[in-house]
Chains A and B, each alone.
Chain A
Amino acid sequence: MPVIKFIEFDGTEHEVDADTGMTLMEVAMKYDVPGIDADCGGGAVCGTCHCFVENSTGPLPDVDPQEESMLGLRPDREGNSRLSCQIHVSDSIGDMTVKLPEFQM
């Protein structure tokens, strides 16, 4: 089981064992990690599950055009910005450290 460390904007850490197949967004919701709103429920059409993937054991899937469109409108976008609904936990990605933004919009 990959270990995901979520770090809230205020520094609070949540380390959880994540089921493979779930998205990062679903993992955060399952363990009540605050800071992810996920208004659209996982369709990459709202941008309110934005996060910053600080590191991962293996490579992440590429950002597809839909995810890129939504990330492009985030004023706080960084190089490691992702929509957490678009990353499925897997053995090949492995453990991840994920920072959460100050706000979702």
Chain B
Amino acid sequence: MGEDLSGSSLADIDVSDPRRFECDTWQPLFARLRQESPVHYQAESPAGPFWSITRFNDVVDVEKNTEIFSSEPTIAIIDPPPERRSQMFIAMDQPQHDVQRRAVQPVVAPKNLREFEALIRKRSGEALDALPEGKTFDWVELVSRNLTTQMLATLFDFPWEMRHKLSEWSDAVTSDERMTAGKGLKMEERLEVIMEILEVFTRLWHERIGDGVESFDLIRLLQRDPNTANMVGDPTNYIGNLMLLIVGGNDTTRNSMSGGVHFLHDNPDQFERVKNDRSLIPSMVCEIIRYQTPLSHMRRTVTRDFEFRGQKMKAGDKVILWYCSANRDESAIPNADQFLIDRESVRNHASFGFGIHRCMGNRLAEMQLRVVWEEALKRFSDIKLMSPPTRLCHNFVRGYSSMPVQVTRYQ
């Protein structure tokens, strides 16, 4: 989709077209939106009409105003039919959101993170040591997917031999044909997967009730909090939160883990710098997360007629917060199109969102990426991209299906 949009009217362009993300040609369009029409009304799209918010500070302001810009009924660009609606705390407003989020938040509390770090380091080392040398392999499969699936299994204390199911499910629940230019699953196929997830996790829930195991896994945390102790009895709510935690704890980190390889390959000067000074890794991790923006957007829904930046929005209108565009907004991030591992205010990016829905696992994600890079840069003098990566045709998940790589080990 190497298109030239310069002569086209913005009204004729579907900004949500997933193919533009697959071909990585979305930037000029969003640059134009930020310039010409930062709060932009899209009258027609496969997801129906919606507003696009494309500037950094406007994204922040919308996220702060939770009374006007609701996260209910869904944070997806497409509307599920009401009878298929699952309830997850990311798609709830206060106070219910806070109650459910607080129940699972201890999974990423510092006590857990400290224990996780040693585990993640061991697993990362093992995965990297097992990579072939002098042979092209898929970094997505052998590193990113492998490691994030292991992490997700730990977060759920999920049966280890079955852990590959978690990443399969993660791919399936975000794969909707309406967000993937027809390449994703049909609604019925997706529903089948969702029922399978519910079945497995309902069994795990019942096996764990009252087993007295002192574990901070997500299922036992829900069981332990009085506000969520009966969640299994409300399958719509249970499956909703499961899908949220499976996707949130997996796709995002996986794709940032792959993205880093790509960005360092494209920016050899930055790669040299971090090789020579590994103390830059924490800052580089923030920059990778900004540059990747693993979720391109979130959606809000207008609760009552409201004027925002001179645009008249109506109750019920969809509003899409384009994080990928906010992260390239020059007015908030100088030289935003450049990948600079030690940029000033490197933490100040939009990838985690803002306000009460800000990514709950952000510190775990950063730690996973930091440890992988610490271990990788100890071992490899070069990580070479052998051919361009394949990107997902998706307007929500910004990721890779393959990343052909060769590594060179230090002698």
Listed in ascending order, the chain A residues whose CB lies under 8 Å from chain B are 37-41, 43-48, 66, 69-70, 72-73, 75, 102-105
Contacts and interface: CB of A to CB of B under 8 A. Distances in A.
6 contacts: A39-B362, A40-B60, A47-B358, A66-B64, A73-B101, A103-B109
Interface string B6-24: 0000000000000000000
Interface size class of B (residues with CB under 8 A): 20 to 34
A45 B102 contact: no
B58 to A, nearest CB: 13
B63 A45 contact: yes
B224 interface: no
Nearest to A45: B354
A43 B60 contact: yes
Contacts, number: 56
3 closest A-B pairs by beta carbon, nearest first, are: A45-B354, A103-B110, A41-B348
Interface of B: 60, 63-64, 66, 94, 98, 101-102, 105-106, 108-110, 113, 345, 347-348, 352, 354-356, 358, 362-363
Contacts of A72: 98, 356
Given A40-B348, A43-B354, A45-B358, 15 more contacts: A38-B347, A39-B348, A40-B60, A43-B60, A43-B64, A45-B60, A69-B66, A69-B355, A72-B98, A73-B98, A73-B102, A103-B110, A103-B363, A104-B363, A105-B110
A57 to B, nearest CB: 31
B226 to A, nearest CB: 16
B352 A39 contact: yes
A102 B363 CA distance: 13
A105 B108 contact: yes
A105 B113 CA distance: 11
B361 to A, nearest CB: 9
A104 B106 CA distance: 13
A69 B354 CA distance: 12
A73 B105 contact: yes
Given A38-B347, A39-B347, A45-B354, A105 B362 contact: yes
B354 A46 contact: yes
A103 B362 CA distance: 13
Given A39-B348, A105-B362, A75 B98 contact: no
Interface centre among A38, A75, A102, A105 (most CB of B within 10 A): A105
B326 to A, nearest CB: 12
A48 B366 CA distance: 14
Contacts of B106: 75
B355 A70 contact: yes
Nearest to A66: B64
Given A39-B348, A46-B358, A103-B110, A69 B94 contact: yes
B92 to A, nearest CB: 13
A70 B63 CA distance: 12
